[in-house]
Amino acid sequence: MAQATWIPAYAGMTHHPLHSAHVLPHCNKPDSLMVSLTWDPVGGWWGLAALVVGLLALLPWGPPRSKTAGRRRWVLLGLRLASFILLLLAWLRPTLVYTQMKPQQATVVLLADKSRSMSIPDGVGGQTRYELLRQTLADANGALRSLAEQFELKAYAFDARLQALEVADGQVLLPETPDGNQTALGAVLDDLLQQEVGKRLLAVLLLSDGVQQARPPRDLPVQTAAARLKAQGIPLYTFPLGQSRGLGQAQDVRLSSLRCNPTVFVKNELSVSADLEAYGYVHRTLVVQMLFETRPGQLEEVARKEVEVQAAGDRIPIDLVYVPAAPGDYKLVVRVEPQPGELITTNNEIATFVRVLKGGINVLYLEGQVRVESRFLLQALRAAPNVQVDFYRIVRDPTLPADRGPAAFLRPGNLDLSEAFRPGKYDVYILGDLDSAAFRPEELAQLAEAVSQRAGLLMLGGFHSFAPGGYGQSALAKVLPVQMDRFGRQGFEERIREDMHIPGPIRLMPTPVGQQASPMRLAADPQENRKLWLSLPPLEGINRLDRPAPGALVWATDEANHPVLVAHAFGSGRVLAFAGDSTWRWPMHGFQDQHRRFWRQVILWLAQADEASQSDLWIKLAQRRFAPGDRVEFQLGVNDPAGQPIPQAQFRAEVQLPDGRLEQVPLVSGESGWQGALVQTEQPGDYTLRATAKLPDGQELTGTARFLVFQQDLELNLAAADIGTMETIAAMTGGQALAPEQLPSLLEQLLRQTSTLQVEQVRKRTLWDTWPVFLLFVGLLSVEWYLRKRWGLV
């Protein structure tokens, strides 16, 4: 049967200054037709030669000459030769090939950025980027009209997604204003490839400021999308709109990275840190303010700092301090005033909430001999208005033998340890360089019971602390977070046992788990915190605490990895073992603030005041600042007066949204207590979470917690255009980054490609497998057979 097949093949584009592509070796005019004959012998030409030899050998083979006259013999020979010729023709498989060039249908796509960053007026005479985009398309109207006559011209506006635009007579009908809240360049280009699949994309024209600002799942890197364009041979031409910071044109001041403790005690210092970046204000003095909600809904300036910008883009650390006067949840704002000529002001402030807790931590500090360490430690603790310290020295009477136990020690007349160690009497106990022999066994057992019922215990290093003080054989052996050698006792009249101590200098090294603990936070920034610890003067020596108790956490070691600060929980209380006794060297070398902060935070942690709540009902939030759309998870519970949880309590919760509406929050009960989550947090502003607990006796308790969903203006957070990205992605695809005024010339270049943008269509017609050839071959064989039979040759 005859077969006709059309096979399309793309013809490339000729080279021009803006784009180059492969050119077919033959460039016929459109609709021209070429005809050629092709041969494809079965088995190749060697097979054809073998066939010819075989046929020539068979050609003379026939009936004997005696049976055929001369004329009949030539007739039969002619019929056989004709059959052989038809067989050879079929063996050669001749084919007529018709080749015709047809114009190719192609598509040009134009993408116009309509995100809010296009409203930034950083053009000549205050022209916005969107106005420049409109002007660019208007100037190219004629070229767009001509292009639309030759190609399919499609236009889209985009922000987080594509929006098809109408193109009428070369005019692209843009949206009135740029109002998109995200710019998803990568996702938009990827969507375009999927939407235009199967089409020949001649070029993609991108008019944008090049700044990708997108949230998941629309945050595909634009370089990834550019790589996919390259893989499909689609050039991307970019037209950057707006000024980059490198041009020194965009003026902007922004605050970021707000850092502060989420809780602070009344009349304690609240340290707040943030980072300031300024562009276009070199050698300008900027005033940074800290505003605090001194009354509900009323912000007042409580601190300020002046900084001078030395270089554009420098990250300037801002540190501010305030002492809250009353407990409660308060809003805190760090702000820098808008500057003249500043394009964006929404990033000039950053806010959070802080919980101010009531004070009143009672501490009992028992010490042995007079030490420099105790004097500096007392100064640090008594400087905190919420910490009340009762300090007593219990010294050994040198006239009495040590084997007389507590009787050999002189106690102050007003010290009643049975009352002092009563559970609930003190929040924290500190034992200095005081031998266990100074206590009666039942007194230490009572102290262990007090710790198990939520009290905190701190043991300091010394010659008669830990194992040298005999605590390994006391009731505190199971309380302390270290295992002590029972044979490590230090006699009063003996030389100091060197195997129980490690000589200095000892430099404290926070462990990874220690850096997460509140007592170890000397600075809000983790890197700055570690630098501070490494800069502190070394200790003169420490006790050897090489065997932490099971489950204990080592918060700090020396450079040889010997434990220095070890923590764990005992019952409902907390216990710390500090192997040193010379932190007094820190304030003596100018680190008074760090010394005071460390010991205050140790006491707060031991008293569990770092998690204290203003009421029996507590609400815990992982943080106080959230981005729009974030999931806000929280825990809540209620404790009895002894600090124990009440599992039978029933809870309900609601949240007040920034617009004043109230919504119920579903709660679930799990192994770790009651939990809830807020998922509708798109609305920026202040949220108030209220919870109510109903106790088994019918009593109801209430509690509140406030948090902030900050105004995350992705589009206006960075004012500068990203020209570098526009240049990079264009170069990746074989396109170019061009100035907006070059759009008409690019369109003309694309228009000139119509002469070579062709499809080669091929039609084939075989000559050897047609019905006429087959019938002729059969007819020749039949005639030969008929004549041979008639003439009596078979």
**Mean pLDDT of all residues in 20-44:** 63
Please give the pLDDT value at position 536.
94
Side chain identity at residue 124, one-letter code: V
DSSP string, 233-295: T--EEEEE-S--GGGT---EEEEEEEEE-SEEETTS-EEEEEEEEEES-TT-EEEEEEEEEEE
Please give the pLDDT value at position 757.
61
* Domain coordinates in residue numbering, the chain: 6-103+759-790, 117-242+720-753, 252-357, 361-611, 617-709
Q: Range with the lowest mean pLDDT among 162-166, 664-668, 670-674, 718-722? A: 670-674
Query: Cα-flanking dihedrals φ and ψ of residue 264, to 5°?
Result: -150, 150
780/440: higher pLDDT: 440
**Mean pLDDT of all residues in 101-121:** 88
Instruction: Answer yes or no: are the C-beta atoms of 304 and 287 closer than 8 Å.
Output: yes
Classify domain 117-242+720-753 at the CATH topology level: Rossmann fold (3.40.50)
- pLDDT higher than threshold 70 for residue 248: no
CA distances, 76 to each of 64, 69, 256, 786 (Å) = 13, 11, 104, 10
**Mean pLDDT of all residues in 236-240:** 98
d(CA 315, CA 309): 9
Please state, for a pLDDT cut of 90, what percent of the chain lies above it. Answer: 47
- pLDDT higher than threshold 60 for residue 319: yes
Side chain identity at residue 658, one-letter code: P
Q: What is the pLDDT of residues 596-622, one digit of tens each?
A: 989 988 998 999 876 544 446 889 898
Nearest alpha carbon to residue 644 among 573, 572, 594, 555: 572
Residue 710 CA from chain centroid, whole number: 18
**Mean pLDDT of all residues in 681-705:** 90
Please give the pLDDT value at position 67.
60
- pLDDT higher than threshold 70 for residue 794: no
- pLDDT higher than threshold 60 for residue 776: yes
d(CA 244, CA 234): 27
Nearest alpha carbon to residue 651 among 614, 690, 678: 690
CA distances, 780 to each of 57, 212, 767 (Å) = 19, 79, 18
Q: Which CATH number fits domain 252-357: 2.60.40.2550, 2.40.40.20, 2.40.10.220, 3.40.640.10?
A: 2.60.40.2550
Q: What pLDDT band is residue 250 in, cutting at 50, 70 and 90?
A: low
Q: Range with the lowest mean pLDDT among 9-18, 269-278, 492-501? A: 9-18
- The angle at the Cα of 309, spanning 720 to 242, to the nearest 5 degrees, equals 10
Please give the pLDDT value at position 212.
93
Kind of pairing between the strands at 563-570 and 539-543:
unpaired
Q: What pLDDT band is residue 18 in, cutting at 50, 70 and 90?
A: very low
Q: What pLDDT band is residue 31 in, cutting at 50, 70 and 90?
A: low
Q: What pLDDT band is residue 61 in, cutting at 50, 70 and 90?
A: low
- pLDDT higher than threshold 50 for residue 440: yes
d(CA 368, CA 37): 114
Q: What pLDDT band is residue 491 in, cutting at 50, 70 and 90?
A: confident
Q: Range with the lowest mean pLDDT among 281-290, 583-592, 667-676? A: 667-676
Please give the pLDDT value at position 756.
54
Please give the pLDDT value at position 754.
62
Instruction: Answer yes or no: are the C-beta atoms of 700 and 646 closer than 8 Å.
Output: no
Q: How big is the chain, counted in residues?
A: 794
Please state, for a pLDDT cut of 70, what percent of the chain lies above it. Answer: 89
Q: Range with the lowest mean pLDDT among 12-26, 385-399, 531-545, 680-694? A: 12-26
d(CA 185, CA 760): 36
Please give the pLDDT value at position 308.
93
Per-residue burial over 137-151, b if 16 or more Cβ lie within 10 Å, else e, is beebeebbbebbebb
Check if 252-357 and 361-611 are the same fold: no
Nearest alpha carbon to residue 181 among 700, 713, 734: 713
- pLDDT higher than threshold 60 for residue 755: no
Classify domain 361-611 at the CATH topology level: Rossmann fold (3.40.50)
Instruction: Answer yes or no: are the C-beta atoms of 388 and 418 closer than 8 Å.
Output: no
Please give the pLDDT value at position 331.
94
Please give the pLDDT value at position 64.
60
Please give the pLDDT value at position 777.
82
Nearest alpha carbon to residue 182 among 119, 241, 114: 114
Please give the pLDDT value at position 17.
36
Please give the pLDDT value at position 357.
76
* DSSP state at residue 570: E
CA distances, 751 to each of 229, 267, 714, 741, 747 (Å) = 21, 75, 38, 17, 6
Please give the pLDDT value at position 13.
33
Predicted structure pTM score: 0.51
227/2: higher pLDDT: 227
Longest dimension (CA), the chain: 161
Please give the pLDDT value at position 247.
43
Six token digits for residue 712? 């995350």
Alpha-carbon dihedral angle through residues 46, 47, 51, 53, given to the nearest 10 degrees: 20
d(CA 281, CA 533): 35
- The residue written with tokens 């390994």 in the block is 472
Q: Identify any residues that bridge with 207 across adjacent strands, giving them in sequence order.
A: 112, 239
Six token digits for residue 208? 């944008």
Q: Range with the lowest mean pLDDT among 20-24, 375-379, 585-589, 678-682? A: 20-24
**Mean pLDDT of all residues in 177-197:** 94
Classify residue 693 as exposed, middle or buried by CB count within 10 Å of its CB (0-12, 13-18, 19+).
buried
* DSSP state at residue 104: P
d(CA 655, CA 643): 27
Highest mean pLDDT, choosing among 289-298, 541-550, 735-744 = 735-744
Q: What average pLDDT is seen over the chain?
A: 85
- The residue written with tokens 């031409």 in the block is 237
- pLDDT higher than threshold 90 for residue 432: yes
Please give the pLDDT value at position 613.
44
Q: What pLDDT band is residue 293 in, cutting at 50, 70 and 90?
A: very high
Instruction: Answer yes or no: are the C-beta atoms of 784 and 82 closer than 8 Å.
Output: no
Q: Which CATH number fits domain 617-709: 2.60.40.10, 2.60.40.1930, 3.30.70.1380, 3.90.1640.10?
A: 2.60.40.1930
Please give the pLDDT value at position 1.
39
Q: Identify any residues that bridge with 236 across adjacent strands, giving them in sequence order.
A: 204
**Mean pLDDT of all residues in 306-335:** 90
Please give the pLDDT value at position 344.
76
Q: What pLDDT band is residue 751 in, cutting at 50, 70 and 90?
A: confident
Q: What pLDDT band is residue 224 in, cutting at 50, 70 and 90?
A: very high
Tell whether the torsion through CA atoms of 438, 441, 445 and 450 is positive or negative: negative
Q: What pLDDT band is residue 561 in, cutting at 50, 70 and 90?
A: very high
Q: Identify any residues that bridge with 427 across adjacent strands, giving them in sequence order.
A: none
Q: Identify any residues that bridge with 344 across adjacent strands, giving them in sequence order.
A: 252
Instruction: Answer yes or no: are the C-beta atoms of 40 and 90 closer than 8 Å.
Output: no
E-assigned strand segments in 632-684: 632-638, 650-656, 662-665, 667-670, 673-678
**Mean pLDDT of all residues in 742-759:** 81
Tell whether the torsion through CA atoms of 231, 235, 239 and 245 is positive or negative: positive
- pLDDT higher than threshold 90 for residue 46: no
**Mean pLDDT of all residues in 714-727:** 84
- pLDDT higher than threshold 80 for residue 643: no
**Mean pLDDT of all residues in 143-169:** 94
Q: 299 CB contacts (<8 Å, ≥6 apart)? A: 291, 292, 293, 331, 333
Please give the pLDDT value at position 29.
53
d(CA 495, CA 23): 97
Q: What is the pLDDT of residues 564-585, one digit of tens each?
A: 999 999 998 999 999 999 999 9
- pLDDT higher than threshold 90 for residue 215: no
Tell whether the torsion through CA atoms of 541, 557, 579 and 550 is positive or negative: negative
Q: 682 CB contacts (<8 Å, ≥6 apart)? A: 628, 629
Q: Identify any residues that bridge with 242 across adjacent strands, giving them in sequence order.
A: none
